[in-house]
Amino acid sequence: MTVKDTQQTPPHMNTLKKRSEFLAVAKGGRVGRCAFVLQGLKRDGSEPPRIGYTVTKKTGNSAVRSRIKRRLRAAVAALAPEDIPIQADFVLVAREAALTAPFENLISDLKSGLPLSLDPKSAQRHRSPRKPKAKAQPGGASAPGRKQG
């Protein structure tokens, strides 16, 4: 058995590989956790669930990013098959805390977050509503409080 064989995704989860698959999941729901953001999307068909891992360069150098990915893969492998919703795709977007968080917390956050990420209401971004832009005054007058001149 080679090192690469030991780092495979568990048998009950396939891996997302194409950019288009990651982008499709990003349009679904999302749940924030301490160590990661979990994105999920229901899909049609009888295929087993799939998961993808994203660790950006902002997180650290390549060694740090690899360690984080290994921890997240191990946490997914520790889940029981019944803990993972079927007919769904998931993406784990890692945060720096994924490196230092207790492993048990990673597993419990995954268990609680997987079903929640499939909820379409969780896709809404929690942003403050945009303020409408002030319309230009007729006759070229500027906005109040500004000096002309």
CATH code of the domain containing 104: 3.30.230.10
- Is 64 contained in some domain? yes
Number of domains present in the structure of the chain: 1
- Is 48 contained in some domain? yes
- Is 124 contained in some domain? no
Does the pLDDT value for residue 6 go beyond 80?
no
Q: How confident is the model at residue 18 (pLDDT cuts 50, 70, 90)?
A: very high
- Is 135 contained in some domain? no
Residue 100 CA: distances (Å) to CA of 10, 36, 47: 23, 12, 33
pLDDT (0 to 100) of residue 61: 94
Nearest CA among 125, 61, 58 for reference residue 93: 58
Residue 8, classed as helix, strand or coil, is coil
- Is 36 contained in some domain? yes
* Mean pLDDT for all residues in the chain: 81
**Could you please report the per-residue DSSP string of 66-96?**
HHHHHHHHHHHHTS-GGGS-SSEEEEEEE-G
Domain that holds residue 13: 3-118
User: Per-residue pLDDT tens for 25-63?
Assistant: 888 889 999 999 999 999 887 788 999 999 999 999 999
Entry pTM: 0.71
Q: How confident is the model at residue 68 (pLDDT cuts 50, 70, 90)?
A: very high
Question: What order of strands is seen across the sheet that includes strand 29-32?
Answer: 14-15, 50-54, 88-94, 36-42, 29-32
- Is 18 contained in some domain? yes
- Could you give the CA distance from residue 107 to residue 123 in angstroms, rounded to a whole number? 22
Give yes or no for a contact between 12 and 84, defined as CB atoms under 8 angstroms apart.
yes
Give yes or no for a contact between 27 and 43, defined as CB atoms under 8 angstroms apart.
no
- Is 143 contained in some domain? no
- Is 145 contained in some domain? no
User: Per-residue pLDDT tens for 86-109?
Assistant: 889 999 999 999 999 999 999 999
